Amino acid sequence: MINLHKGTSLIMISVFFLIGKCFAQKKWSYPSKDYIYEFPRDHGSHPNYKIEWWYITGHLQGQSQERFGFESTFFRIGQDNTSDIYLSHMAITDINDQSFHHEERVNKEGWNAFSKSKDLDLKNGNWTLKRLKNNSISLKGSIKADYLIDLELTPKKPLVIFGENGISKKGASKTAASHYITYTRLGVNGKIRYNKKTLDVTGSAWMDHEISSSQLDENQVGWDWVSVQLNDNREIMAYVLRNKDGSISEFSKLVWIDEKGKLNHQSPKDFHWKQGGSYKSKQTGADYPINPSFTTVDPKDGVRRKFIIVPLMDEQEVPGKIGGVPYWEGACDVKDNNGNIVGKAYLELSGYSGNLKERLN
């Protein structure tokens, strides 16, 4: 999320397109304030919910000033009368080379695609995401024949649960919600193989795990989502849900995460999101506002601050050839009002190829 995350991831637009009109027969669970979180159990799969994803984005650097952004998402899509579907995305932004590489895949549940229910252990082909005994996370994958990825992600801060009473609300109905679990700062060590060479890399990552059975409200047509890792060891997560009439949903949210993982939630009356910039996709024709900014009150000192999201390259669109719905998901720098770089971010933009709700129906 988008997340709303996830994104959410929020690559999850492809998931909604795939599930289409299959809400029938099986009675799915919905997020509840009575839910009791338990770990490592809740890092794993929740088969009584229809939609679930594990979503990682991050920034990497090599020893010779090489710089990359990366994205990896695993979706589990519950079905009424058959095995679950597993949809996954992997992407690398080569910032020095100004090139974007991505792959999408989908498999039915089986030996080659699964998510275990009592701990983090996911597979889709040769892509895997698994919690290790030392509580770090192993991510292994590839992008066609171009890139091999082998990374270890180590939590640098406690995980957080976004929302109120354990529920992240995206709309008025009970279905427009998720359980939203996040590591806002993971240290990264590992290797990337490309161009017939193996590069040692380090960096930082963000990981969302969202659990739901539906998320969009009837009036919503898309969203903008960002995860920000500030240089002062704090983070910001924000999503703006867009309504059919162009207004911003009251369920949009901005959350500060302090140095110890404490949350400060802000509603649209407390922060202001301004769209900016334009990238028109040659593949899909979608026009994305890839250079937004937002202002928010800093809970540490009460000062209103402005943050500007600056993409590290324009072409970071996943065209959605499997899911059918494109979205833009990209590595960015974060600047303050004086032009100083104060952090890194990943930005997700969905619903810019047409009315998202109509397409999902």
CATH of the domain at 237: 2.40.370.10
In a domain, 29, yes or no: no
Q: With 70 as the cut, is the pLDDT of residue 81 above it?
A: yes
Kindly state whether residue 33 falls inside one of the protein's structural domains.
Answer: no
In this structure, is residue 30 part of a structural domain?
Answer: no
Domain that holds residue 289: 2-23+38-360
Position 31 in a domain: no
Across the range 269-286, mean pLDDT stands at 94
In whole angstroms, what is the distance from residue 96 CA to residue 134 CA?
33
Is there a domain that residue 128 lies in? yes
Name which residue leads in pLDDT, 337 or 4: 337
The chain-wide mean pLDDT, for the chain, equals 90
233: left (phi over 0), alpha (psi -120 to 50) or beta: left
Name which of 89-93, 170-174, 316-320 the model is least confident about: 170-174
> What is the pLDDT confidence band of residue 122, given thresholds at 50, 70 and 90?
very high
Proportion of the chain above pLDDT 70, given as a percent: 90
Spatial CB neighbours of 340, under 8 Å, sequence gap ≥ 6: none
Query: What is the distance between the alpha carbons of residues 146 and 119, in angstroms, rounded to a whole number?
Result: 31
Residue 252 lies in a domain: yes
Total of domains in the chain: 1
What band does 354 get if pLDDT is binned at 50, 70 and 90?
A: low
pLDDT, position 173: 83
Backbone angles phi, psi at 356, to 5 degrees: -60, -40
Q: For residue 32, tell me if it sits in a domain.
A: no
Residue 270 is assigned to a structural domain of this protein: yes
Banded pLDDT at 283 (limits 50, 70, 90): confident
For 116, other C-beta atoms within 10 Å of its C-beta total 13
- Between CA 148 and CA 153, with CA 152 as vertex, the angle to 5 degrees is 125
- Over residues 220-242, the mean pLDDT reads 95
Q: What is the mean pLDDT of the segment spanning 294-304?
A: 97
Indicate the pLDDT class of residue 188, thresholds 50, 70 and 90: very high
Predicted local confidence at residue 100, as pLDDT: 97
Q: Say whether pLDDT at 19 is over 60.
A: no
Averaged pLDDT, 344-361: 73
